[in-house]
Amino acid sequence: MSFTPKTQHYSGKINAVTLGTGDKAIVLGGQSVLPFYTFDGEIENAPKIGVEISDAASEWAVPGLTAFYAGCTTMADYAKRAETIPGADFLCLHFESADPNGANRSVEDCVADAKAVAEAVSMPIVIMGCKNMEKDGQLFSKISEALQGRNILVLSAKSEDYKTVGASVALAYGQKVGAETADDINLAKQLNIMLKGLTVPAGSICMNVGTAAVGYGYEYVASTLDRVRAAALAQSDADLQMPIVSPVSTDTWTVKESTASAEDEPAWGDMEERGIDMEVATAAANLTGGADAVILRHPASIATVKKFITELV
């Protein structure tokens, strides 16, 4: 007797959100099955990989990154080089140097960099700020205005500033907005409801429900991802059906396993290899939990995660 596997069908479906324009545009979400459950149904859009490009990238003390970006001096140079990485689907511009408690780069300089990148590349663009709410509010608004028509995603709107970010990014300039919360399904749902209450269309919202390097409280991330995706599909919860974007690189390249030198921790092996391992392991965990896109930094990590996605979809 032949075996007929029983499939699980869900009434819910993840929203399909388009980023970018033209031939390089990508679609996040759109599936109605659990992550990589191809035996239950077709996965309409495979998860995507973004490349982090920081305005402080020249300070990255990783030999492989230094070699790959050799000769790059401007953010546009880095972006053009990153666009050549096999497996990359979009670019994430990280303006960490805008932080008033750090280099305090001006909004005008950051906007100029964003415009230069947009003119130099054709891939979709995602914007990350410096984590200073006041500065990010100005930055997000000005970049959204300058890149109007490029259909970018801006990370992130939080409960404290969702009105300002949502209004300036999505309503005024027609860009996509990321809703950022910290490992709590109720907070994630509430923020999506508030953004929709602001009249931001559901199809213009993505979520960053929180991430962390594996081993650093990652069980909270895993449980949140699982619960969000289960609610979206099994319960058809329209307030949790937004695609999930996980900025992995900013967490994994700052932990001790990725920054301690081989001299300080000789038993741990090569520092760069450890960083790549942390990035790959965290990205794989996020993707199997339900992330529709991950943001990575190292070309070796991107190649490995791309292979991981291709073999599972």
State the pLDDT at residue 202.
96
Task: Measure CA of the first residue to CA of the last residue in the chain; give whole Å.
Answer: 29
pLDDT recorded at residue 199:
97
What does the pLDDT look like over 82-108, one tens digit per residue?
Answer: 999 999 999 999 999 999 999 999 999
CB 78 within 8 A of CB 120: no
Q: Kindly compute the dihedral angle of the four CA atoms of residues 293, 298, 302, 308, in this order, to the nearest 10 degrees.
A: -100
Token output for 110: 């950051």
pLDDT surpasses 90 at 4? no
Q: How far is CA 271 from the centre of its chain?
A: 24
| DSSP letter (8 states) at residue 157 | E
pLDDT confidence of residue 14? 98
pLDDT score for 303: 98
What gap in Å lies between CA 177 and CA 78, rounded to an integer?
Answer: 24
d(CA 214, CA 259): 15
How confident is the model at residue 6, as a pLDDT?
Answer: 86
Q: What is the pLDDT of residue 161?
A: 94
Q: What is the mean pLDDT of residues 204-214?
A: 96
Q: What is the mean pLDDT of the chain?
A: 96
Q: Distance between CA 226 and CA 290 in Å, rounded?
A: 7
Report which of 46, 112, 113, 122 is spatially closest to residue 83, judged by C-alpha positions.
122
State pLDDT tens for residues 127-137.
999 999 999 99
Tokens, residue 278:
């942390």
- Give yes or no for residue 189 having a pLDDT over 90: yes
Q: How confident is the model at residue 275 (pLDDT cuts 50, 70, 90)?
A: very high
| Spatial CA neighbour of 79 closest among 12, 131, 147 | 147
Distance of CA 30 to the CA centre of its chain: 17
Residue 2 has a pLDDT of 81
Phi, psi torsion values for 75, nearest 5 degrees: -60, -35
Best CA proximity match to 206, nearest among 175, 172, 163? 175
pLDDT computed for residue 71 by the predictor:
97
Answer whether residue 43 shows pLDDT above 90: yes
The conformation of residue 261, written as its DSSP 8-state character, comes to -
Per-residue pLDDT at 156 exceeds 90: no
Neighbouring-strand partners of residue 94: 54, 128
Q: Where is 91: in which H helix or E strand?
A: strand 90-94
How far is the C-alpha of 79 from the C-alpha of 69, rounded, in Å? 10
- 210-269 confidence digits (pLDDT tens): 999 999 999 999 999 999 999 999 999 999 999 999 999 999 999 999 999 999 999 999
pLDDT above 90 as % of the chain: 96
pLDDT in the model for residue 5: 79
Measured CA to CA, the distance from residue 175 to residue 118 in angstroms comes to 14
Cα(312)–Cα(37) distance, integer angstroms: 9
Which amino acid, residue 259?
T
